[in-house]
Amino acid sequence: MNHALPSLTDMATEFPPHQTIARLALAANGFVFDPLTGASFTANTTGLAILQFLQQDHRSLPDITALLAERFEAPESALEHDVIEFAARLRDIFR
């Protein structure tokens, strides 16, 4: 069977499982609280928007980048790096 290998971009934008993101309480000031573990962290405006999109079950890099571009009226090319960086941070937090 021929399994397609994930691309580097797919791996770089791998987010924690949806059930993990879905349970997070997001405050407008960027404070994020995990009611299961008691952990908390802060996110900037872009990070908060990414978490909101993830909670709405948008999972792909192009999808999230496009939504960010629309919300912040910025070019997608300038936002892609932010998404990749934030995905890495989330992976680290929920490791």
Partner 1 sequence: MNRRSVTVAVTGINARPDNPGPGLAVARCLKAATSLNVRVIGLAYDAFDPGLYLPMWCDAAYLLPYPSAGEEAYRNRLAALHTQVPFDVIIPSLDAELPTLIRLAPWLKEQGIATLLPSAAQIQLRAKDRLTELAEESGLEAPDTQSVFRESALHTLPESFQQHWPWVIKGLFYDAKVVHSLAEASQAFNDIAGAWGLPVLVQKFAPGEEINLTGLGDGQGRLIGAVMMKKRAVTEKGKAWAGISIHDEALLTAARRLVAFTQWQGPLEVEVMRSPQGKLTLIEVNPRFPAWIYLSAGLGCNLPEALVHAALGEPLTELPPAAPGTLFIRYAQEVIISLDDFAQVVTAGEIR
Contact positions vs partner 1 (CB under 8 A):
25, 33, 35-40, 95
Closest alpha carbon to 91 in 1, 34, 15, 28: 15
Q: Which residue's CB is nearer to partner 1, number 1 or number 35?
A: 35
Q: Which is nearer to partner 1, 28 or 38 (CB)?
A: 38
CB of 59 to partner 1, least distance (A): 21
Q: Which long-range contacts (C-beta less than 8 Å, at least 24 apart) are formed by 63-68? A: 64/13
Residue with tokens 């936002």: 79
Output the smallest distance, CB 34 to partner 1, in A.
8
